[in-house]
Amino acid sequence: MTHASAQTIAPDLALIEQLAHEAVMQLPEPWRTAAAQVRLRIEDFAPAEILEAMQIADPFELTGLYEGTPLTEKSVMDQPLGPDVIWLFRRPMLDEWLDRGDVSLAEMVTHVMVHELAHHFGWSDAEIAAIDPWWE
């Protein structure tokens, strides 16, 4: 493979996963430890059943998803229904990254990862928007 062709290959699932793990490692404590307990899934697109449940017609509209019970709602008395999971969707993130053109891929992945982790920590979309002016 030539150097030129290596630069034209889209970032793969493994790179997105690596960047997501790096984002977690950059978090201050106690957030880092809590974030490290969440399972991470990287897919090209959200599965059809997730899109249907969220009533999303265009799979490019969903870059990430937190699936679980926020820490603020958990009780030691509750039986866990399964691990908390953060899904990151590569193709929608890559499209948004290219459309923006003003952030690095690492910044894009970190933004989505932190947004989904904020849901895990029990923050509302309004609270997340107040500290993360990403869309301005």
pLDDT tens digits for 87-96? Answer: 999 999 999 9
Give the CA-trace dihedral at 85, 119, 35, 55, to 10 degrees. Answer: 20
Q: Which pLDDT does position 136 carry in this prediction? A: 53
Instruction: Give pLDDT tens digits for 19-73.
Output: 999 999 988 888 889 889 899 999 999 999 999 999 999 999 999 999 988 888 8
pLDDT at position 81 over 90: no
Q: How confident is the model at residue 4 (pLDDT cuts 50, 70, 90)?
A: very low
Nearest alpha-carbon partner for 112 in 94, 126, 130, 127: 94
pLDDT at position 2 over 50: no
What is the third-level CATH fold of 11-73+82-131?
Zincin-like (3.30.2010)
Q: Which are the contacts of 59, defined by CB distance < 8 A and separation ≥ 6?
A: 45, 46, 51, 89, 91, 92
Instruction: Give pLDDT tens digits for 97-127.
Output: 999 999 999 999 999 999 999 988 888 877 7
pLDDT at position 78 over 70: no
Q: What are the structure tokens assigned to 111, written together? A: 């933004």
- Domain-by-domain residue ranges, the chain? 11-73+82-131
- pTM, to two decimals: 0.84
pLDDT at position 3 over 80: no
